[in-house]
Chain A
Amino acid sequence: MAFETVIGLEVHVELGTKTKIFCNCANEFGAAPNTRVCPVCLGSPGVLPVLNAEALALGIRAALALNCEVRASSKFDRKNYFYPDSPKAYQISQYDEPIGERGYVEIVVGGGVKRIGVTRVHLEEDAGKLNHSPLGDYSLVDLNRVGVPLIEIVSEPDIRTPEEARLYMEEVRSILRYCNVSDCRMEEGSLRCDANISLRPAGQRAFGTKTEIKNMNSFRNVQRGLEYEQRRQAEALAAGGEIRQQTLRWDEASERTILMRSKEDAHDYRYFPEPDLARVELSAEYIAARRAEIPELPADKRERFVRQYGLPAYDASVLTASRALAEYFDAVAALVRDAKSASNWIMGDLLAHLKVTGQEIEQVNMTPQQLAQLIGLIDDGTISTRIAKTVLRDVLEQGKDPRVLIEEQGLAQISDEAALRAIAQRVIEANPKSVEDYRAGKEKALGALVGQMMKETKGKANPQMVNRMIADMIAGD
């Protein structure tokens, strides 16, 4: 029997504020345990939460960027549960009146655009971290992360494949990074993902029984975890078995999902309105101001790159992976004759350089103007593409203008007809065998002669000119 996979994602994103959502402790990753805590973080008796204005602003901006309708009036609620990572034994979250609802994210899949619905976006506080002792006889609690502002983004069950899930995650990350809402580093936990997955016979409307998978802490693991679970469920159903509603954990080491808890252990969170926080009432002006903070988003940029620069869709999608990269490209493309050449250089040598050095585009030692200059020097024949690759490397190392480096190192192409003709004559005389072969119809022999010519000129000869010149000279003999 053929099955259709149905996936919905719950994505948690830590907001890039200076302070926590309900107190003035610094929002910082990686500090020594319990050094970013105050009585509010500790859930000490008598303390009260006060909402961070920036957390609210970033949450609204994110909701708008995810195409949500923003509620003019929303509220916080308490989600009650006992666990050592939750010092108050409740998490301040939003239950039935989230800041944003009914949004969507568009992903590019199978050559087309697919829209994944966003059910809701809400604000909440992060929990602390437990470090389990090696023997499992006790745990240590670090509360630094308590109160870090989060948004939770809940998708509609519109996702049909693990690949779509990964693409959705990547698109969400890209959007939120564009908006400066979060750095979205999965490896640091500032972007996290839980997934619900179920299978149903193709053509059936009703959803099958779902399982929830947690702990998929990279884009790759999101796809792999879901692929594993998809396969597991399909095999179980094909064998006539049933899927049990349960929460699973993706174990990267063993590459399988492990049972955390079954449905019977489901919590009763006893949500109720948080009496310590006033309702959030937003004016139309406030919402408009947040909307104005949203830059051109990746989907629009992709579309524009194709339309404005005539780039292939693939190039557009690579170049818009981050806002800084896209802006870099825009800057180069504005200065060169052919935007595709800008795309080629950025996607090829420049991204390879970033990968090797582990740098971000913002850190790179070459301005868009310098890259444009380099491309211009190829276009006007001053240097060959091969020389340009060396020059690019030197620019990245030294930060000097390409023109200066070419000057300093005497790398400009020799395009002087008379000078080249003299060298060509020498090469022809010194390689009679190759000349013979070429005359006999072996086209490859011409390549050997050109190669000799480039060697003589240390690569500076204009290759097109040399090709034509040698062919003409042998033919003219």
Chain B
Amino acid sequence: MLDMYSGLRALRAGLDAGRTSPGELFAMCRNEIARRDDGVKAFLTLVDDDPETQRRLRGEGPDAGYAGYAADGAAREGEAEFASDGTAPDGRSGSAGALAGIPYALKDNICTAGIVTTCASRILAGYTPPHTATAVRRLAQAGGRLLGKLNMDEFAMGSSTENSARFPTRNPWDLERVPGGSSGGAAAAVAAGMAPYALGSDTGGSIRQPAAYCGVVGLKPTYGRVSRFGLVAFASSLDQIGPLTHSVADAALVLQQIAGHDPRDGTSARVETPDFSRGLTGDISGLRIGVAREYFSEGVDDGVRRKVEEAIALLAKLGARVREVSLPHTRYALSTYYLIAPAEASSNLARYDGVRYGYRAKDADNLVDMYSKTRSEGFGAEVKRRILIGTYALSSGYYDAYYKRAQQVRTLIRRDFDEAFADVDVIVSPTTPTTAFRLGEKVDDPLTMYMNDVCTIPVNLAGLPAISVPCGLDRGLPVGLQFIGRMFDEVTLLGAAYVYERAAGHSPLRPRFAPEVTGHGV
């Protein structure tokens, strides 16, 4: 019996064998959403499974001119175009088609033409973009079926999804706890079996941290691996789209589809897209794994530490060579991040001014008044806090002391990794210092909230790929194990995570409330 925990290959096999249909899979998800989402509250917008929507997301919709631009732009660059059944003309590693007919959901900061995209902010309430994110277009062209848009911390700023302007999302493992953030809706939707996979975005851990809290796999690709076109910018030099799935193999399949150079993103890398499933061999003998003491500071819970140490021991047993590495500037990562990300955000979010789209305050006397009222009423507290910090860090007289300094420290953090990766192939750490905390527990204490990201932030600063995989439960709550890889070496990263996942046998993790299903697969 198939369900949304079965894995993408099993779902695809079910479709191929005629045991299920795309429509049936979509309906199954909608059933689960109807059953679970009153409690979890992961979805902000539901999308119907109609061909018109799918066509528009493929860039073939009726908004003629501009959609034409999109398709045209891709074709010119010799990018693979996929037929709607998912077959790829260029034989993209045989994985094209892997996602055809399979439903998915999107964090609400990923633009979808004709479908409301709000970033869970009042300031974008009702905003319907004319453009579709390149990553989504590629999923649509591969035959994916969009279920809906997922809750998040407003503009991806937060670690609990409590900063949504709509409502907080809850952790399927314990509805009194947060799912993490900012891709909390994505992690919760996948964990609760409402979608087989989702796309989130990761600026300082926003995919990996909620993945860890909800017991799913979360992959942040190398900066530049996946186009940012259509991802609403939070911090442009850190943001990256990535998948949340039930397994490492699924993450590889989704990445395969969304990765690749995009002429509409000047920071998307002109590198070859390898077969990401190539490294899923189950063999890691000789793989050199680094463990950095800096990731096991006193802030890490004992329960989490224990699980991660068990995982490292298991990896050693499986044939990996574990050695200690030093990342001495890790301790500065948090400060660095909380200057750089807000600075970029203060500029990226300046465009929400009530002129061309989105919310506009009523009763403004003049332009400046309209701007200020619109922005003050449209943004939530955390967004304002970060805009203020970022504006301050860039303002006259403080740029050198704060922003520039942070960018220099960023160079040192990157150098630490470069040196460590001379000796090891991947680095392993906890994804988060704790398991999921209670709703409201940290909402009034920004600095403590920021500490959640202490293990994930250095990775974004350096631009590296990293993945969080479940490594068991601590007092009934999932713990995440983070693997960090070299720039553009997702193949090795996924290979290592896959070996651990198979040997540990945790995935797919089903929250307690999920119905027990007899027999996996079909």
Do A and B form a real pair? yes
In residues 214-273 of chain B, which contact A (Cβ within 8 Å)? Answer: 228-233, 235-237, 263-267
Asked whether, in the complex, the Cβ of A141 is within 8 Å of the Cβ of B355, the reply is yes
Q: Are B394 and A80 in contact (CB under 8 A)?
A: yes
For residue A228, CB closer than 8 A to chain B, the reply is: no
Nearest CB of A to B111, in Å: 4
Chain B CB within 10 Å, residue with most, of A24, A45, A49, A84: A45
What CA separation (Å) do A173 and B140 show in the bound complex?
50
The closest CB in chain B to the CB of A143 belongs to B356
CB nearest to B131 among chain A residues: A39
Q: A78-101: contact bitstring with B at CB < 8 Å (1 yes, 0 no)? A: 101010100111100000000000
Residues of B within 8 A of A278 (CB): 266-267
- B158-170 CB mask vs A (1 if < 8 Å, else 0) is 0000000000000
Which 6 A/B pairs are nearest by Cβ-Cβ distance? A89-B350, A270-B394, A275-B236, A275-B237, A45-B232, A43-B351
22 of the cross-chain contacts (CB-CB < 8 Å) are A24-B73, A44-B129, A44-B357, A45-B124, A45-B129, A45-B351, A45-B357, A46-B233, A47-B229, A47-B230, A48-B229, A48-B267, A82-B350, A84-B355, A87-B356, A89-B350, A272-B394, A272-B403, A275-B235, A276-B266, A278-B266, A278-B267
Q: Say whether B396 faces chain A, with CB atoms less than 8 Å apart.
A: yes
Contacts of A306 in B (CB 8 A): none
Residues of A within 8 A of B395 (CB): 268, 270
A277 at the interface (CB under 8 A from B): yes
- CB contacts under 8 Å to B, within A44-62, are 44-51
Inter-chain contacts of A143 with B (CB < 8 A): 356
* Cβ contact within 8 Å between A82 and B353: yes
Beyond A38-B69, A90-B350, A270-B347, whether A46 also contacts B267 by CB under 8 A is: no
Contact B391 A270 (CB under 8 A): yes
Q: Are B228 and A48 touching (Cβ within 8 A)? A: yes
Q: How far apart are the CA atoms of A80 and B390 in the complex, in Å?
A: 12
Is B367's beta carbon under 8 Å from chain A? yes
Inter-chain contact A39/B129, CB cutoff 8 Å = yes
Q: Cβ of A45: which chain B residues have Cβ within 8 Å of it? A: 111, 117, 119, 124, 127, 129, 232-233, 351, 357
Question: CA A49 – CA B346 in complex, angstroms?
Answer: 18
Q: Specify which of B73, B129, B367, B399 is in contact with A46 (CB 8 Å cutoff).
A: B129
Docked pose: A45 CA to B111 CA in angstroms: 8
Closest to A76 in B: B266
B69–A24 CB distance below 8 A = yes
What is the number of residues of chain A that contact chain B, defined by CB distance less than 8 Å? 32
State A68–B215 Cα separation when bound (angstroms).
59
Q: A80-B350, A275-B237 are in contact. Are A46 and B266 (CB under 8 A)?
A: no
**A residues near B237, Cβ cutoff 8 Å:** 275
Provide the residues of chain A in CB contact with B356, threshold 8 Å.
42-44, 87, 143
Residues of A within 8 Å of B110, CB to CB, are 46
How far is it, in angstroms, between the C-alpha of A80 and the C-alpha of B66 when the chains are bound?
28
Do residues A276 and B396 form an inter-chain contact, with CB atoms below 8 A? no
Give every chain A residue within 8 A of B450 (Cβ-Cβ).
none
Q: Which residue of A lies closest to B370 (CB)?
A: A84
A-B pair count, CB < 8 Å, reads 111
Q: Is the CB of A46 within 8 A of B353?
A: no
Residue pair B230, A89 in contact (C-beta under 8 Å): no
Given contacts A24-B69, A42-B357, A275-B237, contact A47 B266 (CB under 8 A): no
Closest to B343 in A: A272
A275–B407 CA distance with the chains assembled, in angstroms: 12
- By a CB distance below 8 angstroms, the chain B residues around A43 are 351, 356
Contact with B along A155-190 (1 / 0, CB 8 A): 000000000000000000000000000000000000
Specify which chain A residues have a CB less than 8 angstroms from the CB of B353 in the assembled complex.
Answer: 82, 84, 89
A84 to B237, CA, bound (A): 26
B130 to chain A, nearest CB (A): 6
- Grouping DSSP codes into helix (H, G, I), strand (E, B) and loop, the B interface class, with mixed when no group exceeds half, is loop
A50 contacts B350, C-beta separation under 8 Å:
no
Residues on B with beta carbons closer than 8 Å to the beta carbon of A87: 351, 355-356
B residues engaging A (CB < 8 A)? 66, 69, 73, 109-111, 117, 119, 124, 127, 129-131, 133, 228-233, 235-237, 263-267, 343-344, 346-347, 350-351, 353, 355-357, 367-368, 371, 391, 394-396, 399, 403
18 new A-B pairs (CB below 8 Å) besides A39-B129, A275-B267? Answer: A38-B66, A42-B356, A45-B127, A45-B357, A46-B133, A48-B228, A48-B264, A50-B266, A78-B347, A87-B355, A89-B347, A139-B367, A270-B346, A270-B391, A272-B344, A275-B235, A275-B237, A275-B344
Q: Are A46 and B231 in contact (CB under 8 A)?
A: yes
Q: Quick one: given A43-B351, A88-B350, A270-B391, are A50 and B131 in contact (CB under 8 Å)? A: no
How many Å from the CB of B346 to the closest CB on chain A? 8
How far, in whole Å, are A141 and B371 apart by their CA atoms in the complex? 15
Instruction: For residue B374, give the distance in angstroms from its CB to the closest CB of chain A.
Output: 11
Alpha-carbon separation in the docked complex, A141 to B131 (Å): 22
**B interface footprint on A273-305 (CB within 8 Å = 1, 0 otherwise):** 001111000000000000000000000000000
Chain A residues closer than 8 Å to B127, beta-carbon distance: 45
Q: Across the interface, do B133 and A50 meet the contact criterion of CB distance under 8 Å? A: no
Closest chain A residue, CB of each to CB of B239: A275
CA distance A386 to B209 in the complex (A): 91
Q: How far is A392 from B48 in the complex, measured between Cα atoms in Å?
A: 75
Bound: A45/B109 CA distance, A: 9
Assuming A80-B394, A84-B355, is B350 touching A47 (CB within 8 A)? Answer: no
Measured between beta carbons, the chain B residues less than 8 angstroms from A268 are: 395-396
Chain A residue contacts of B233, Cβ below 8 A: 45-46, 276
> Do B130 and A39 touch (CB < 8 A)?
yes
Query: Does A46 contact B230, Cβ atoms closer than 8 Å?
Result: yes
Q: Which residues of A contact B111 (CB under 8 A)?
A: 45-46
Smallest CB–CB gap between B224 and chain A, Å? Answer: 10
Q: Chain B residues near A80 (CB, 8 Å)?
A: 346-347, 350, 394
Q: A88-B351, A270-B347, A270-B391 are in contact. Are A50 and B263 (CB under 8 A)?
A: yes
Q: Which residue of B lies closest to A38 (CB)?
A: B66
Minimum Cβ distance to chain B for residue A381 (Å): 64
Chain A residues whose C-beta falls within 8 Å of the C-beta of B231 in the assembled complex? 46
CA distance A278 to B130 in the complex (A): 26
* Chain A 409-437: CB-based contact to B (< 8 A → 1; otherwise 0): 00000000000000000000000000000
Contact residues in B for A139 (Cβ distance below 8 Å)? 367
Chain A residues in 8 Å Cβ range of B391: 270
Q: Which residue of B has the minimal Cβ distance to A130? A: B367
Query: How many angstroms from the CA of A278 to the CA of B269 in the assembled complex?
Result: 10
B3: shortest Cβ distance to chain A, in Å?
33
Q: Are B266 and A49 in contact (CB under 8 A)?
A: yes
Name the one of A89, A141, A277 contacting B266, with C-beta atoms under 8 angstroms: A277
CB of A276 within 8 A of CB of B267, answer yes
Neighbouring A residues of B130 by C-beta, 8 Å: 39, 44
A40 to chain B minimum Cβ distance, whole angstroms, is 9
Cα separation A271 to B367 with both chains bound (whole Å): 23
Q: In chain B, what residue has the closest Cβ to A273?
A: B407
**Which residue, of B117, B237, B394, has the highest number of chain A Cβ atoms within 10 A?**
B394
User: Are A51 and B350 CB-contacts (below 8 A) given A45-B129, A46-B233?
Assistant: no
Given A45-B232, A270-B391, are A89 and B131 also a contact pair (CB < 8 Å)?
A: no
- Among candidates B129, B347, B355, B371, residue contacting A272 with C-beta atoms closer than 8 Å: B347
A90: which B residues are within 8 A, CB to CB? 347, 350
Query: Which of the residues B73, B124, B367 comes within 8 Å of A84, measured between beta carbons?
Result: B367
Task: Closest A residue to B236 by CB, please name it.
Answer: A275
Bound Cα distance from A268 to B355, whole angstroms: 22
Which B residues lie within 8 Å of A48 (CB)? 228-229, 264-267
A268: nearest residue on chain B (CB-CB)? B396
**Closest beta carbon of chain A to B17's beta carbon, Å:** 38
Cβ of A35 to closest chain B Cβ, rounded Å = 10
The CA-CA distance from A88 to B347 in the complex, in Å, is 8
CB distance from B223 to the nearest CB of A (A): 10
Shortest Cβ distance from residue B337 to the other chain A in the assembled complex, whole angstroms: 14
In the complex, chain A residues 207-251 whose Cβ is within 8 Å of any chain B Cβ: none
Q: Mark A249-276, 1 if CB is under 8 A from B, else 0.
A: 0000000000000000000101110011
Chain A residues whose C-beta falls within 8 Å of the C-beta of B232 in the assembled complex: 45-46
Q: Quick one: closest B residue to A272, CB to CB?
A: B394
